[in-house]
A and B are shown apart, each in its own frame.
Chain A
Amino acid sequence: MNDDAIVALYWQRDESAITVTQEKYNAYLMKIARNILNDTEDSEESVNDTYLAAWESMPPQKPTVLSTYLGKLTRRISISMFRKRNAAKRQGSEFALSISEVEEIMTDHANPEKELEASHLGELLNAFLCSLKPDERNSFIGRYYYMDSLKDVAGYCGMTEGKAKTVLFRTRQKLKEYLTKEGYEL
């Protein structure tokens, strides 16, 4: 079933929408959740919460690309779950590794009063990402949005793992410079 038809089922309040979504996207969403939670049971819970969130949000939402929409829900739910639960249990997750990588540009001691809202920082990130070459942008989003492993990122970006590491390192440094120039206090 194509995505438009699935979204239509949600709008018709037809409960088979969830079954169909599960059949088509469960593996895809589990991958996103596992990258963050590094735990099958928690990931299953996160993906189940995603189906519930999809049911509750459509309507009014009518996503044009269902996979991205669902992936975004899973990502949010999984990050939220990660924060609520014992982080020590998941030291090996790609999310934990991703956090440690951005520590070099985002320190903990910033003045909370001066912190920009996530949406504002998101706007800056958008502008920054648009300025990058495609392989830089794709690897950055792969690593820090999807939390994919370096090996996976390198694979689908058509580069070696070593090159992916270098590209990500340079991109993080560029981001640091960019945010500083834009007046974002690090």
Chain B
Amino acid sequence: MKQELFFNAMDYIDDDMIEAVDILRTKKKSGVNRAWIRRASAAAGVCIILGGLFAANRFGNSKLHPESDGSDHEMMAQGTDGLSGSGDTGALGVTIPKTEISIKPNSSADLLAFFIYEGKMYVQYEWIYDHPELAGKYVGTATGNIDCFTSKKEYEDFAGSVSGDFYTVNGFDPSFMLCMKYDDGSVSIYVNDNGLTLLKGSDLFEDRLHLSGNYSEAEYQTRHDWVNSLGNIKTLSGEAADVLENFITELNKGNFMYTDDVPLEDGQNNIYDLEIYHLFFRMSNGMTVHLRLYDGGYVRYAALIPVCVKMDVSAFDALVDLLQ
């Protein structure tokens, strides 16, 4: 029968096409952690795809370099005083470098849902199913033409691994956040971190994410539970309100630093060895501000893997004590 012939014929399609899909399907986990896992993988030194920075070009160079081998991921501070990235944020803060994009067969490149706009890469952060009003003005249409078969000349604005119209997100800076919307009313949020300079926690959590006073509840999950997708997400009770408010206040005061500069003890390989909790602020607009908490008072926004905030330890521990 012809249907069977079709499925037999599918056996003859090129291995590189099968492998590209295999990478997608095997790396991606089911459940709510999907987007985070992708980003975490990228940051855990696995940075197969997003490597390097435009060190030579510093600010102002918006061209993406598909010819990069993507083999390394390094960061450096930028600014007139040449910050070292040694953990001292200095007066100008830390800058997340622009990323080079290299998508090659057998890499994990296809893991990222992203598109390029104004030379910056917007990476998928989360799906929101019941707040279509988040989508604002039409910005452009992503072609979805990038994968491991793409030639470097095609790495340009509006290219990406996903296709579709993208829009501003109402109330948010389009240089930081854009979205795609779908017929079923769902919205997919994309966050750009390329070239972002952050000094204090408030630069991100207030100026860009508008956290204070805009969340309806906070939930949390242990590291172990999150990693294993066990789904035991608990809600912080109203009694925790003061502790939570103090946590946010101190988080906003904390300095940003590079994740790679977080001090580790013997036997610890990277910041993930310090991770203890995931904290989810459910925002009234439908978004979630997902924070990752690390022993010692380090806090990271899940969409900005290269940097974290070092906050006041007593305020941090007060919250952790409640979670325990």
Q: How many residues of B contact A (CB 8 A)?
A: 46
Complex partner residue of B18 from A141, A158, A159, CB under 8 angstroms:
A141
Known contacts A134-B145, A145-B18, A145-B21; A125/B3 CB under 8 A? no
For residue B8, which residue of chain A has the nearest CB?
A: A118
Asked if A155 CB lies within 8 Å of chain B CBs, one says yes
Least Cβ distance of B43 to chain A in Å? 19
Asked if B182 CB lies within 8 Å of chain A CBs, one says yes
In whole angstroms, what is the CA distance A155 to B37 when docked? 13
A126 and B13 contacting across the interface, CB-CB below 8 Å = yes
- Chain A residues whose C-beta falls within 8 Å of the C-beta of B10 in the assembled complex: 122, 125, 141, 144-145
A156 and B25 contacting across the interface, CB-CB below 8 Å = yes
Asked if A58 CB lies within 8 Å of chain B CBs, one says no
Asked if A28 CB lies within 8 Å of chain B CBs, one says yes
Known contacts A68-B18, A159-B162, A162-B183; A122/B12 CB under 8 A? yes
Least Cβ distance of A87 to chain B in Å? 11
- Segment at the interface with B among A7-15, A40-48, A49-57, A100-108: A100-108
Known contacts A135-B162, A141-B13; A158/B19 CB under 8 A? no
A99 and B7 contacting across the interface, CB-CB below 8 Å = yes
- Chain B residues whose C-beta falls within 8 Å of the C-beta of A135 in the assembled complex: 144, 161-163
Q: Give residues in B with beta carbon < 8 Å to A.
A: 1-15, 17-22, 24-26, 28, 30, 34, 106, 110, 113, 124, 127, 143-147, 149, 161-163, 182-184, 186, 188
- Chain A residues whose C-beta falls within 8 Å of the C-beta of B24 in the assembled complex: 138, 142, 156-157
Complex partner residue of A138 from B14, B21, B34, CB under 8 angstroms:
B21
A118 and B11 contacting across the interface, CB-CB below 8 Å = yes
Complex partner residue of B17 from A102, A116, A118, A137, CB under 8 angstroms:
A137
Known contacts A110-B2, A142-B24; A129/B13 CB under 8 A? yes
In whole angstroms, what is the CA distance A152 to B15 when docked? 21
- Chain B residues whose C-beta falls within 8 Å of the C-beta of A159 in the assembled complex: 162, 182
B145 and A155 contacting across the interface, CB-CB below 8 Å = no
- Chain A residues whose C-beta falls within 8 Å of the C-beta of B30 in the assembled complex: 152, 155
- Chain B residues whose C-beta falls within 8 Å of the C-beta of A158 in the assembled complex: 113, 124, 161-162, 188
B3 and A106 contacting across the interface, CB-CB below 8 Å = yes
In whole angstroms, what is the CA distance A163 to B184 when docked? 9
Asked if A5 CB lies within 8 Å of chain B CBs, one says no
Nearest 4 interchain pairs by C-beta: A122-B12, A158-B113, A121-B9, A134-B147
Task: Write the A80-121 contact mask toward B (1 if CB under 8 angstroms, else 0).
Answer: 000100000000000100110011001110100001101101
In whole angstroms, what is the CA distance A122 to B9 when docked? 4
A108 and B3 contacting across the interface, CB-CB below 8 Å = yes
Known contacts A134-B144, A134-B146, A138-B20; A125/B25 CB under 8 A? no
Asked if A133 CB lies within 8 Å of chain B CBs, one says yes
Given contacts A123-B12, A135-B162, A158-B124, 11 further A-B contacts (CB under 8 A): A28-B26, A67-B22, A106-B5, A110-B2, A121-B5, A134-B110, A138-B20, A146-B22, A148-B25, A156-B28, A158-B162
B2 and A106 contacting across the interface, CB-CB below 8 Å = yes
B11 and A146 contacting across the interface, CB-CB below 8 Å = no
Known contacts A110-B2, A158-B113; A144/B12 CB under 8 A? no
A115 and B124 contacting across the interface, CB-CB below 8 Å = no
In whole angstroms, what is the CA distance A159 to B181 when docked? 10
Known contacts A122-B11, A135-B163, A148-B25; A115/B183 CB under 8 A? no
B25 and A146 contacting across the interface, CB-CB below 8 Å = yes
For residue A98, which residue of chain B has the nearest CB?
A: B7
For residue B146, which residue of chain A has the nearest CB?
A: A134
Least Cβ distance of B48 to chain A in Å? 15
Asked if A160 CB lies within 8 Å of chain B CBs, one says yes
Task: Write the A23-63 contact mask toward B (1 if CB under 8 angstroms, else 0).
Answer: 00000100000000000000000000000000000000000
Least Cβ distance of B155 to chain A in Å? 13
- Chain A residues whose C-beta falls within 8 Å of the C-beta of B5 in the assembled complex: 106, 115-116, 118, 121
